[in-house]
Amino acid sequence: MRVGALAAIIVALLIGQLPAGAAKSSPPTPILLAAGDIADCSLNGARLTAALIDSRPGTVAAIGDTAYPTGSVSDFSNCYQPTWGRFKGRTRPALGNHEYLTAGASAYFAYFGHKAAPPGGYYSYRLGSWHIVVINSNCDQIGGCGPGSKQLRWLQADLAQHKARCSLAYWHSPRFSSGPHGSDETMQPIWAALAKAGADIVLNGHDHLYQRFAPLEASGHINPERGMREFVVGTGGGPFYHAVTKIPSSRKIVTSRWGVLRLKLGTNRYYWRFLSTPNGRVLDAGSSACH
Nearest residue to 124 (alpha-carbon basis) of 96, 157, 100, 150: 157
- Reduced to 3 states (helix: H, G, I; strand: E, B; else coil), residue 148 is coil
The alpha carbon of residue 51 and the mean position of all alpha carbons in its chain are separated, in whole angstroms, by 18
**Distance of alpha carbon 270 from alpha carbon 134, whole angstroms:** 18
Residue 256 resides in a domain:
yes
Residue 4 resides in a domain:
no
Please report the beta strands in the chain, taking only residues with DSSP state E, as ranges in sequence order: 31-35, 59-63, 91-94, 123-127, 130-134, 167-170, 201-204, 210-213, 229-233, 250-254, 259-265, 269-276, 281-289
Please report, in angstroms and rounded to a whole number, the separation of the first and last CA atoms in the chain: 47
Strand order in the sheet with 201-204: 123-127, 130-134, 167-170, 201-204, 229-233, 210-213, 250-254
Residue 18 resides in a domain:
no
At 26 the pLDDT is 72
The CATH code of the domain that includes 68 is: 3.60.21.10
CA distances from 185 to 90, 191, 205, 290 (A): 31, 10, 15, 26
Residue 20 resides in a domain:
no
Q: What is the pLDDT of residues 23-65, one digit of tens each?
A: 556 789 999 999 999 999 999 999 999 999 998 999 999 999 9
Where would I find the H helices in 204-291? Answer: none
Q: Which helix (H) or strand (E) holds 230?
A: strand 229-233
| 118 cis-preceded (ω within 30 degrees of 0) | no
Residue 191 resides in a domain:
yes
pLDDT tier, 9 (very low <50, low <70, confident <90, very high otherwise): very low
At 4 the pLDDT is 52
Which segment of 20-29, 49-58, 143-152, 161-170 scores lowest on mean pLDDT?
A: 20-29
The alpha carbon of residue 65 and the mean position of all alpha carbons in its chain are separated, in whole angstroms, by 13
Residue 13 resides in a domain:
no
Q: What is the pLDDT of residues 62-83, one digit of tens each?
A: 999 999 999 999 999 999 999 9
**Distance of alpha carbon 122 from alpha carbon 156, whole angstroms:** 13
Judged against a pLDDT cut of 60, whether residue 13 lies above it is answered with: no
Residue 163 resides in a domain:
yes
The total number of structural domains in the chain stands at 1
Q: How many residues does the chain have?
A: 291
At 165 the pLDDT is 93
Look at the pTM and tell me if it is higher than 0.85.
yes
At 246 the pLDDT is 87
**Range of 160's domain?**
30-289
CA distances from 83 to 43, 55, 79, 231 (A): 12, 14, 7, 23
Residue 19 resides in a domain:
no
Put residue 227 in one of left, alpha, beta given phi > 0 → left and psi -120 to 50 → alpha. Answer: beta
- Reduced to 3 states (helix: H, G, I; strand: E, B; else coil), residue 261 is strand
